[in-house]
Amino acid sequence: MTDPFFPLDTRLPAMLKSGKRLRGIFNGIASPAIVEMCAYAGFDFMVIDNEHGSASIETTENMLRAARASNLPTLVRCLEHDIARTLDIGAGGLQIPMVSTAAHAAALVQRVKYPLATGAKGLSGQRGSAFSSRAAGYGAFGGPAHSQRSNDGIALVVMIETPEGVANAESIAAVEGVDGVFIGPNDLAHSMGCENRWNEPAVQAAIERTLKAVAAAGKCPGILALSPEDEDKYAAWGARYFASVSTGIITRALKEAAQGSRDKIAY
């Protein structure tokens, strides 16, 4: 069987290494239909947001099925207690919040990678093996080939959201097995005492420092970019992974539609 038939989509590590601008979307709405809509809209990838979203593990699995069927590479942002199950349902990548040290990033790599046989190529980790999962085709694609495919093809993106993470950005990015580093500007601003004002000069300086450090380490730097102007500014600092948020886009479109209707009503 060829790659398109595997439940596991293994394109994300190569995408993150490509050097190209990638435009994705965070989605916390628990709906496979939204996944398909984002795919058909032309996004390069999606992040299913299970840190702040409402999807159960079953719904997340169905969203990953929708992503695979509509050819949309998809990460899942999850909390650490959900790493094992999120990988087993077939996530092509994980995005883990609140990583502030290289030691934490290295521990996450161990949880994402399977143990490999002595002498096998690549990183070996401590992920528990269960080939009955969706990721392994319920056993159809299990065994050493699945372990190697997973270790090579599942992306790990860690999130820097604190001043400590900013200070350690280069060493975090240098950890083998980390494919990208994404700055959470809202949490970073809060942790710097600026509430949600991430355009404050001090927060922007921290973002610039982090993006440049990650790029210098040879990994993919990511950031929220809610306008073309933001994307261009952050790209000049090294960012290549840009994300918007589905709820913001939908709410804005709904407001525009509602206001447009009111404009046509004669009172």
Residues in Cβ contact with 111 at an 8 Å cutoff, skipping those fewer than 6 apart: 80, 83, 84, 125, 126, 127
Of 205, 220, 69, the residue nearest 157 (C-alpha): 220
Closest by CA to 87, choosing from 73, 105, 75, 101, is 75
First to last CA, the chain: 64
> Catalytic one among 52, 104, 146, 190?
52
Put residue 213 in one of left, alpha, beta given phi > 0 → left and psi -120 to 50 → alpha. alpha
190 is catalytic: no
Query: Which residues have CB under 8 Å from 242's CB, separation 6+?
Result: 21, 22, 23, 24, 222, 223, 224, 225, 231, 234, 235
Structure tokens at 46: 């999606």
Residue type present at position 198? W
Query: Which residues are known to be catalytic?
Result: 52
